[in-house]
Amino acid sequence: MAADIGIATFKYIDYDHQTAQFSLEVETPTAGNFAAQQALVDALNDAIVGITLGGTVHYDMAARTSFSGTIPTIGSAQRQIQWLVTYVNDVTGGVRTVRIPTANLSITDLLLPASNEMDLTSTEGALFVAAFEAVVLDEGDAVTVQKVEYLQ
């Protein structure tokens, strides 16, 4: 039996005016839960902004929230400099990944020493994980972030 799912899509712009986007499964928005779901998606976008350099173009969940797409002033805000988020379905154990563009690598203590892996206990890392896990679903199930790595 097919079930409705919700999708949140996020789009960001880099220093060279190139955009990248990704989508995540979220709880299906309804009239009864829309405000709460939108608040969770807003919090996830804020957490993503906290770990990236790109400008938010838009994010949406059944209704689009648009921004001016302000071009970043930092040359290292590039869509190909990414966070690779690995997360696991809490019920099935299925592993998923999503790439988030314009990773901000200038945040002090965001990466583990001598590593390309985010310290998930750092201030920004913990905020991101909490926001991600509060809103993202996989096949309708809650997820747990396993790791976040810097890619280029």
Tell me the pTM: 0.81
Say whether pLDDT at 10 is over 90: yes
Angle between helices 123-135 and 34-49 (to 10 degrees): 150
Coil, helix or strand for 114?
coil
- Answer yes or no: is 108 within a domain: yes
Two structure tokens written together for 121: 């206990």
Task: Report pLDDT for 61.
Answer: 86
H or E element at residue 39: helix 34-49
Question: What are 97-136's pLDDT values in tens digits?
Answer: 999 999 999 999 999 999 999 999 999 999 999 999 999 9
Please answer whether residues 86 and 147 qualify as being in contact, where contact means their C-beta atoms are separated by less than 8 angstroms.
yes
Task: Report pLDDT for 64.
Answer: 52
Question: What are 139-149's pLDDT values in tens digits?
Answer: 889 999 999 99
In angstroms, how far apart are the furthest CA atoms of the chain? 49
In angstroms, how far is CA 152 from the centroid of its own chain? 17
Task: Report pLDDT for 22.
Answer: 95
Task: Report pLDDT for 1.
Answer: 41
- Answer yes or no: is 1 within a domain: no
* Overall average pLDDT of the 57-77 stretch: 82
- Answer yes or no: is 74 within a domain: yes
∠ CA 12-138-90, nearest 5°, is: 125
- Answer yes or no: is 146 within a domain: yes
Query: d(Cα 89, Cα 140) in Å, to the nearest integer?
Result: 9
| Residue 135 domain boundaries | 6-151
Query: d(Cα 136, Cα 70) in Å, to the nearest integer?
Result: 26
> How large a percentage of the chain has pLDDT more than 90?
81
Task: Report pLDDT for 31.
Answer: 87
Contacts of 93 (CB under 8 A, 6+ apart): none
Say how many domains are in the chain: 1
